[in-house]
Amino acid sequence: MAESELKPDIRGEATVRVTPELTANRVASGVVEVYATPQMIGLMEKAASEGVQPYLPPGQSTVGTLVNVTHIAATPVGLTVRAEAELVEVEGRRLVFQVVAYDDVEKIGEGRHERFIIDEARFLSRVARKAPRES
C-alpha cells in the first residue's frame, strides 16, 4: 500500500507486564519503583509503529519525530500496561497519532505522537555517514 493510501483510523496496540527492569529507578528517570515514563512512551511508539507497518510497502518504515504525552498515574510492578495508538492525521510522510495507555486499573497516560515514513536503505545510509571512522 502506498503512503498516500494511509488513512486515519488505523490502530495499533502493544502490551507489557511491568517488571523491576521497567521502573523509574532502573532506567534513571526517577527514584521510585513504578513504571517509568520513558518506558510508557516507548510502548506508545511501538503501538503506533506496529499499527501502520502492515500498510507500508517493503523497504519503508517509520521513525518517531515528536512525542507530547502526559503520564497521569503510577503503575506498580506486576500490572500489565496496554498502549493504544490511533492514526488521526496523514500529511505526506508525516503521521500523527492519538496515543493512550492503561494499566489493569486505570488510564495512565495520553497524548499525541508523530512519526515520519522513511525509506529504510536511504535512512540507514545517511546514519552510516555520521558514524565515527576508525583510525
Known catalytic residues are 37, 45, 71
Q: Cα(96)–Cα(67) distance, rounded to whole angstroms?
A: 10
Q: Cα(58)–Cα(119) distance, rounded to whole angstroms?
A: 9
- Tell me how far the alpha carbon of residue 112 is from its chain's centroid: 10
Residue 79 burial (C-beta neighbours within 10 Å; 0-12, 13-18, 19+): middle
